[in-house]
Amino acid sequence: MYEAAQFRPWLGIGVVVVSFAAAFLEGVGLGLLLPIIEITQSSSPTDADGLLGLFVRFYERFGIPFTLEYLIVSLGAVMFLRFALSFVGGWLRAILGVSYQRELRERLFDSLMYGPVDYIDEVGSDDLLNSFITETNRAAGIVMATFNITEIVLRGGVYLILATLLSPVLTAVAVVSLTVSTLLVRYVLEPAYAVGDEVANVNDELQTVSQASLQGARDVRLFNMREEFVDRMHESLDRYVTSNVRLRRNQAALQNLNQFANVIVVFGLVYAGFRMTSLSIARLGVFLFAIFRLSPVVNQINNRLYTLDGQLPHLVRVRDRLESLAERDAPATGGDQSIRTVRRVDFDDVSFSYDSGERVLDDVSFSVERGETVALVGPSGAGKSTVIALLGRLQAPDAGEIRADGTPIGDLDVREWRERLAVVRQDPFLFDGTLRENVSVGNRNASDRAVERACETAQVTEFLPELPDGYGTELGEDGVRLSGGQKQRVAIARALLKDADVLVLDEATSELDSNIEQTVYEGIRSLESEYATVSIAHRLSTVDDADRIYTLVDGSVTEVGTHDQLLASDGTYAELYATQS
Ligand SMILES: Nc1ncnc2c1ncn2[C@@H]1O[C@H](COP(=O)(O)OP(=O)(O)OP(=O)(O)O)[C@@H](O)[C@H]1O
């Protein structure tokens, strides 16, 4: 809360000042009722003292006639100003709240973009999306509510001062009674934070179920999971209804119990005012009016605090996410050395473990130069894709060094280093846009001719006539309108369009038939650009002409050589090759 209040302090102070001025004018307006009632009862209140005397002297000082008409016009003017200021206060509060929401969303998004990818894997895109959309929204509501409470408190303060000026003893009785009744009501109700936490949990679950069922729409049907998802969704919706109704029911109970308690207190004061004090009708009337205005203020504060308590879990979650992200070292940051071109890449005794602690790479060494192709082969789970993650600085090695032309890649400017890499991942992601937009993601300034050339090499042109709008065809979310092999070819085309030095192919053609695969590789070999190529393939026939083949088993390089050398040495490679022949 402290941090939220610190956001844009000057705007916050502005809201408080405006609220204070509005509250003051409310007090003045209420106070003006006193001379208005007095003047209707006696013709010469000019010798009055106390609050009434204050008004009389003020009017004398500015030479305004102290008549009923002038008093009523003054009351109208004061009230106009008071509500105008309230409007400005509400406006400023909205600016503050919505800007705070923007700030949280910006910080969260930027931290996610520049933070480590494994945080996204760990928390899940569904929960992060929920934080980004819903929780930041509620968090902004907290800021607005906090300043709203400040305004109400100030207004309540003015009523109290006015009531104290008129009757200190009755005011003390009123304050004690209102406080006791408020605390009693709060004590009876369950804490809002617990219910709010349940609401936040259910929101997470709703996001998870809806995202999984939409993104996995095909698998959900093919694996007959529809009933399972429908049940999960219905159950989550039930929990959503129960927790939300509970929160709102408690709010309604709080409001009505408070109002009831306040009515009783005010009735008691009316009785006490008439029976036990000698206040004039005008003073007692204005006093009761002030208390009457004060009791909904107490109500409102109570209600707002309860709502605030219920929304706090959302802000806490967003804060937790931001803190966790700040605590993580992002391997992508750091390094500022410039790099324009790369001739050679070396892996030197590189070891790496994910958070689970198990060693995935163990002293892996290999090198590749421009004009060469090296292949990484080995059983599933051996660590081949992890090598690519390290190369792209999505992860950083725990030990050993990866160097580009002798410089550790961690010392390089990460943007420039990634400019030198053209990676076709095992499971490439296509963006929701046209074919042209997808091919040019790594080189936005590429000419149409360059896009077409990359598509020719990657054999995208083979299925281009089938696309309704050619290069302008919308590919849908994650290229849903393409086959697996077509998606792979788009991913290869976009890698080739980059002006890179190191080409990384991670199972890049696994879904292509042999003919097209062959044509793609021939096309790449005939390109003018001389790549240092790192190729990963399960189908060994696609890498048998590599300059060097490294066999990776359980995270270690167990053998290295050309296809013929490895066959002759009769090791793991020869075994794998035999099973595929
Ligand atoms: N993000 C991750 N977090 C934790 N462990 C991971 C992560 N990615 C991969 N692993 C683990 O690291 C090991 C190596 O995975 P990797 O994907 O590098 O293997 P691979 O040789 O490319 O396998 P495949 O040929 O099946 O693609 C596996 O045991 C896998 O479970």
Residue 552 CA to ligand 1 centre (angstroms): 12
> Are both 6 and 140 inside the same structural domain?
yes
Least confident piece of the model among 67-81, 263-277, 495-509:
263-277
> Are both 261 and 176 inside the same structural domain?
yes
Residue 19 CA to ligand 1 centre (angstroms): 58
Atom 16 of ligand 1: nearest residue by CA position:
383
Could you give the percent of the chain with pLDDT greater than 70? 97
| pLDDT at position 85 | 95
294, 327, 360: which is the final residue of a domain? Answer: 327
Least confident piece of the model among 65-74, 232-241, 461-470:
65-74
Ligand 1: nearest atom to the Cα of 538: 25
> Are both 248 and 175 inside the same structural domain?
yes
Q: What is the C-alpha to C-alpha distance for residues 26 and 28, in angstroms, rounded to an integer?
A: 5
> Are both 398 and 483 inside the same structural domain?
no
Does residue 426 sit within a domain?
no
- CATH code assigned at 377: 3.40.50.300
169: pLDDT strictly greater than 80: yes
| pLDDT at position 65 | 85
| pLDDT at position 416 | 92
pLDDT band at 48 (very low <50, low <70, confident <90, very high): low
DSSP state for residue 342 in the 8-state scheme? -
CB 6 near ligand 1, within 6 Å: no
Does residue 123 sit within a domain?
yes
Range of the domain at 553: 335-420+500-581
Q: What is the C-alpha to C-alpha distance for residues 2 and 513, in angstroms, rounded to an integer?
A: 61
Does residue 425 sit within a domain?
no
Choice between 317 and 278, residue whose per-residue pLDDT is larger: 317
Task: Write the ipTM.
Answer: 0.96
Does residue 396 sit within a domain?
yes
> Are both 323 and 269 inside the same structural domain?
yes
pLDDT band at 331 (very low <50, low <70, confident <90, very high): low
Does residue 301 sit within a domain?
yes
> Are both 525 and 471 inside the same structural domain?
no
Does residue 527 sit within a domain?
yes
327, 357, 387: which is the final residue of a domain? Answer: 327
CB 371 near ligand 1, within 6 Å: no
> Are both 392 and 539 inside the same structural domain?
yes
> Are both 486 and 505 inside the same structural domain?
no
41: pLDDT strictly greater than 80: no
Average pLDDT over residues 281-306: 84
Exposure of 50 in the CB half-sphere (CA atoms within 13 A)? 15
For the chain, what is the domain count?
A: 3
Cα 60 to chain center, whole Å? 59
Could you give the percent of the chain with pLDDT greater than 90? 42
> Are both 580 and 543 inside the same structural domain?
yes
Mutate which of 384, 387, 391, 394 for ligand 1 pocket (most atoms within 8 A of beta carbon): 384
pLDDT band at 115 (very low <50, low <70, confident <90, very high): confident
402 with 348: CB under 8 angstroms? yes
DSSP state for residue 131 in the 8-state scheme? I
Residue 548: φ, ψ to 5°: -140, 140
| pTM to 2 decimal places | 0.76
| pLDDT at position 443 | 87
Residue 381 CA to ligand 1 centre (angstroms): 5
Query: How many Cβ atoms are within 10 Å of 574's Cβ, its own excluded?
Result: 16
The three-state secondary structure class of 431 is: coil
Residue 429 CA to ligand 1 centre (angstroms): 18
> Are both 160 and 227 inside the same structural domain?
yes
Q: Calculate Rg over the CA atoms of the chain.
A: 36
> Are both 286 and 376 inside the same structural domain?
no
Q: Is the alpha carbon torsion for 395, 396, 397, 403 positive or negative? A: positive
User: Which residues fall within 8 angstroms of residue 240, CB to CB, at 6 or more apart?
Assistant: 199, 202, 203, 206
| pLDDT at position 20 | 94
299, 327, 355: which is the final residue of a domain? Answer: 327
CB 379 near ligand 1, within 6 Å: no
- CATH code assigned at 239: 1.20.1560.10
Does residue 281 sit within a domain?
yes
391: pLDDT strictly greater than 80: yes
Q: Which two tokens stand for residue 322?
A: 């931001």
Single-letter code of the amino acid located at 437 = E
Cα 336 to chain center, whole Å? 29
Atom 6 of ligand 1: nearest residue by CA position:
354
196: pLDDT strictly greater than 80: yes
543: pLDDT strictly greater than 80: yes
> Are both 482 and 580 inside the same structural domain?
no
Mutate which of 122, 350, 353, 385 for ligand 1 pocket (most atoms within 8 A of beta carbon): 385
Does residue 156 sit within a domain?
yes
